[in-house]
Amino acid sequence: MIRDHFRVLLVDLSSGRNTITDIDGRNAVAGGSGLAALLFEKYGFLGKPWDDPGQPLIFAIGPLTGYFPLMSKTVCAFKSPYHDQYAESHGGGRSALSLRFADFDALVITGRAKTPSALIVGSRQIEIKDVHYLWGTDLQVAGKILRRMFPGAGHRTILRIGPAGERLSPMACITADTYRHFGRLGGGAVMGSKNLKAIMIHGDGSFLLPENKDYIKVFDKVYKDMTDTDMMSKYHNLGTPGNVRVMNDLKALPIRNLQATADPATEGITGERFAEIALLRNAACAGCPVGCIHIGFVRERFQKENRYIYRQISYDHELIFAVGSMLGVMDCFEVLKLIDVAEKMGLDVMSPGVALAWATEALAKGMITEKETLVPLAFGNTASYEAALEHMGYRTNEFYHLLSQSTTKAAERYGGGDFACVLGQEMAGYATGEAFFVSQALGFRHSHLDAAGYSYDQKPKGKAVEDAVKFLIKDEKGRVFLTSMVSCLFARSVYNDEVLSNCLKSIGYGTLADNMDAVAGEIQRLRWKLRVRTGYRPENVSIPKRFTEITTWKGQIDSAFLSSLKDQYASAIRDLASTDTTASTSEKKEGHWHIENTT
């Protein structure tokens, strides 16, 4: 629905009371990332811990969600169990269109249910159901039962958590519709802390379109760009796994806990190899004709006689890097097996993969023993990693409990911080150089998607710190506007400023279209401000020694440049966070304001 305000559903799991409220601010914060920040400012408690029942779990969509192709993502925001600060995690599947057709711009969940529960939301339905019998089930089992319990197959999203989320692991993800995730920074644990096993959103509403011809014309142009040009071919063809060979050729693929950046053995896990032997089919998020989801298969012999089962598992570059190259597992099917275990546990695949890479090296160096790891972790030993991922999901002993908090926490206890591949959180699959390391280490989501540091590293520019900082800040600003629409960032080459402006105007958001740059800056500042007010100190972030020891196609990492870039980027973030924002000032007047402790 096109509206000049936000229609928000507030669900209080403690009291079972729900409220639908209209909130102003469309022209100030647009939606998505901006709306999530606005809502956290309004309903969050900046000084209370992440698992305080009053803390909100927010899902927000944007003004273009559903109206245009690849406007198919949802922004999930919460206080993160990983660092106890404000965080965002983005996911797709059918979540965005379901929320759109349920006719809410955002869903805000507070409180804690008395028993393990499922929340059901639709345009004509809001219900909290006891599902205590699902607590403890892995994601595969839970998914099957939930699908049977609720109506709307095909036109709904089912967001759910596994054992890791129930056990409040900061590496627990929220799985959306089997193959997509709100993966990082522990959204799954936030659901777990609310006793919320699942959220089902039924997109059963429909809306009249604006009565002008522009919308159809603009839609057709965008759709053609997405499907008839080569702008999206990377994602339509090999998908993100195409990066594995590219990174390896650049000597920029993290391998065996970043002890190497290239290895001929990675040929066994390239996107090309997956496509050749393991790719079963593709799938798409609702509203995306590109269909970047690549689904592979593993088959498992379960009896001595020739009796097999098979499973379908989605794969991406980041997952292949995290439980493939990083763990020295160089076979497609072995990688898929490890992804499958992490999926069932409801773990984000990336963080546990990187954490186990650290544990493998720490074990080899004698800092920990098999008494801690329970299994003989060794690069390439898939069976051990399968068991270890389950231990992480179930948090079996003190070691795995700590490791699933973060690699840094484990290293603080056992040593080995120098080779913990952590950049704000466990690293993403790009060892391209200084700009990427700094971008992920300090970036808002600690994600490779915060800004294109990896791309800056590959440009034949000098090492001008100021230039790099400007690039990172500007790139983040562009991306934050996209994630406020809410676009999939894979569509960023199609959705340039002109196209976005045309899209907004065609459905009646002319004011937003005329102020895109200012609004983007506003949202960027608002997010940083929240992050800093919840305790973030960018100047205190450190980049472990391992990142300075590697060699890429450019040669040795330049430690002095890295350090200087980190300091200046931290300072630029500080500047952004200290700039006053008009949206927050106006909202303060409306009351419902929490006093926070920012120390």
Partner 1 sequence: MKILTTPRMERCIGCHSCSLACARLVHKRLSWDTAGIRIRSSGGLSTGFETRLCMACDPAPCVAACPTGAYSQRKGGGVVVRIKLCIRCGACAKACPVDAIYLDATGEPFVCIHCGRCVPFCPHDCLELTEFSRGTTPSGKEAAASEEVES
Q: What are the residues binding partner 1 (CB under 8 A)?
A: 66-67, 69, 97, 100-101, 123-124, 143-144, 147, 153-155, 177-179, 203-209, 211, 216, 219, 223, 227, 236, 281-291, 293, 312
Tokens of 33: 């990332």
Smallest distance, Å, CB 537 to partner 1? Answer: 42
Smallest gap from residue 4 Cβ to partner 1 (A) = 17
**In the complex, minimum distance from the CB of residue 219 to partner 1, in angstroms, rounded to a whole number:** 7
- Beta carbon nearer to partner 1, 69 or 538: 69
Closer residue to partner 1 in complex, CB, 142/247: 142
Q: How far is the CB of 279 from partner 1 (least distance, A)?
A: 13
Residue with tokens 């709100």: 182
Alpha helices (runs of H) in 346-406, residue ranges in sequence order: 350-364, 370-373, 382-394, 398-403
32-43 helix and 582-589 helix, angle to the nearest 10 degrees: 40
Nearer to partner 1, 42 or 197 (CB): 197
Q: In whole angstroms, give the CA distance from residue 481 to residue 523.
A: 8
Closest C-alpha among 98, 104, 128 to residue 35: 104
CB of 1 to partner 1, least distance (A): 8
Fill in the amino acid letter for 232: M
Is 494 in contact with 226 (CB distance < 8 Å)?
A: yes
Residue 446 or 505: the one with the smaller Cβ distance to partner 1 is 505
Look at phi and psi of residue 212 and say left if phi exceeds 0, alpha if psi is from -120 to 50, else beta: beta
Q: Which is nearer to partner 1, 148 or 304 (CB)?
A: 148
Q: How far is the CB of 295 from partner 1 (least distance, A)?
A: 8
Q: For residues 212 and 67, is the Cβ–Cβ distance under 8 A?
A: no
Between the CA atoms of 179, 184, 185 and 191, what dihedral angle is there, to the nearest 10 degrees?
Answer: 0
Closer by beta carbon to partner 1, 342 or else 572: 342
Helix (H, G, I), strand (E, B) or coil at 176: strand
List of residues 6+ apart from 585 with CB closer than 8 A: none
Q: Judged by CB, which is closer to partner 1: 226, or 350?
A: 226
What radius of gyration, in Å, describes the C-alpha atoms of the chain? 23
Rounded CA gap, 164 and 136, in Å? 9
Best CA proximity match to 157, nearest among 53, 239, 232, 61: 61
Query: What torsion, rounded to 10 degrees, do the Cα atoms 376, 382, 386, 392 define?
Result: 60
Between residues 18 and 123, which has the closer beta carbon with respect to partner 1?
A: 123
Q: How far is the CB of 43 from partner 1 (least distance, A)?
A: 28
- Of 28 and 161, the one with the shorter C-beta distance to partner 1 is 161
Residue with tokens 């948090």: 395
Whole-angstrom CA distances from 235 to 104, 247, 289 are 30, 16, 11
Q: From the CB of 62, what's the least distance to partner 1, in Å?
A: 14
Short-list 426, 451, 459, CA closest to 546: 426
94/525 with CB nearer partner 1 = 94
- The minimum distance between CB 184 and partner 1, in angstroms, equals 22
The closest of 383, 248, 270 to 330, measured between CA atoms, is 270
Do 428 and 318 meet the contact criterion of CB atoms below 8 Å apart? yes
Question: Least distance from C-beta 582 to partner 1, angstroms?
Answer: 31
